[in-house]
Amino acid sequence: MIDVRENRIGQLSGYAKYPDIAYFLDRLGHIAYRYEPGLAPSPEIRTRYRETKDWPGYEAAFLALMRERGFPGGFSLEAGDGAVAFLCSEPDPERCHRRLIAELLSNHWRAQGDAAEIEHLVKPESPRATPKRRRKHDGTDSQ
């Protein structure tokens, strides 16, 4: 698990707050924890996005920042790592920097001839959010 949040000890992090997250990952799943704040967006990029909600602008600024920081060129994993998960605060990958990081790294590895697959770990939809079919007393279906 690679933590790409700028602030890993924030009060809103709950059990995902450091050092708790490292402890739980190790004890419950034998999963190594690594902190990479250099993969977090700058406060200026986040502030601009909160004010404008301009995702294409955020994405362009974040990708420029990653190029400036030399990512993914100097990024390496420990020997034997087969799967990597990026942790941040956003619930969905569509508008999250962890998706951008995964895509950059995946493209970099593929360009080197390595296999790379991205799988987003997201919370499944609530059963209450999906309409269910019910039988009416007359035997027909309804939504």
Q: Which of 24, 55, 29, 20 is nearest to 41 (CA)?
A: 55
Sorting pLDDT into bands at 50, 70 and 90, what band is 124? confident
The more confidently predicted of residues 25 and 14 is 25
Of the given ranges (1-5, 59-63, 129-133), which has the lowest mean pLDDT? 129-133
104 in Cβ contact with 71 (< 8 Å): yes
Structural domain spans, the chain: 2-142
Sorting pLDDT into bands at 50, 70 and 90, what band is 134? very low
**Arithmetic mean of pLDDT, 24-39:** 94
Which three-class secondary structure state does DSSP give residue 24?
helix
pLDDT of residue 61: 98
Which three-class secondary structure state does DSSP give residue 87?
strand
44 in Cβ contact with 27 (< 8 Å): no
pLDDT of residue 126: 57
Give the burial string for 89-123 (b: 16+ CB within 10 Å, else e): beeebeebbbbbbbebbbeeeeeeeeeeeeeeeee
Structure tokens at 39: 């993969």
pLDDT of residue 53: 97
Please determine, for residue 71, whether its predicted confidence score (pLDDT) is greater than 60. yes
Q: Which amino acid is at 87?
A: L
Q: What does pLDDT average to over the chain? A: 85
